Homo-oligomer: A and B are copies of this chain.
């Protein structure tokens, strides 16, 4: 077994972190087509981002390219997956087994990118005790007790907005360190708690607005 240095030593800029998965999927495609090497210039031609930007982004990742040849595709894929945390298993709980919460429990894709939801919490007797997508649903009151057994640091927040803050506070009290917030509510947390907002509704709003603008041009 090889001991690894802790991944992603510093605080990598968020735009870089958001672009790296694009390079990863590009490298996977090249590999699928039988390619052995890939250069930032080639990636650039495919995804329309400056080659110098790509090289700069990849400089955060522990991978070295060779002049005129580029990166070894296998090495680049492994380095990116490692760096992005996709090869680790990060255990998580999900809070709020409504429509979106249930959908996320059924999305087995998340586990391939390092997020393993090991339990869900709700107060609805219709879902408590069930398995959704293979994940057990517990009563919310069991959260603190479960926390002592499982090694969970991440909470996925998919509750209604009127309890979003209350559940957030409880999660943090119980020991959750990072919250993936799918609600359209802006939660307040202490400084050391990580929050990642993924509001599908905000993204929809942007898309509708842009579509309206384009439609009016026609």
Contacts and interface: CB of A to CB of B under 8 A. Distances in A.
State how many copies of this chain the complex holds: 2
Task: Give the residue among A184, A201, A206 with the most B Cβ atoms within 10 A.
Answer: A206
Given A14-B206, A178-B207, A184 B103 contact: no
Interface stretch (A67-75, A81-89, A121-129): A81-89
Interface of A: 6-8, 10-12, 14, 17-18, 20-22, 24-26, 28-29, 32, 46-49, 84-86, 88, 90, 98-100, 102-104, 106-110, 113-115, 153-154, 161-162, 177-178, 180, 183-186, 188, 192-194, 196, 198-217
A82 to B, nearest CB: 11
A49 B26 CA distance: 37
A45 B136 CA distance: 37
A131 to B, nearest CB: 16
A25 B106 contact: no
B18 A185 contact: no
- Chain A at the B interface: SS class: helix
B48 A186 contact: yes
B107 A212 contact: no
Contacts of A211: 90, 153-154, 177-178, 194
Contacts of A185: 22, 25-26, 29
A105 to B, nearest CB: 8
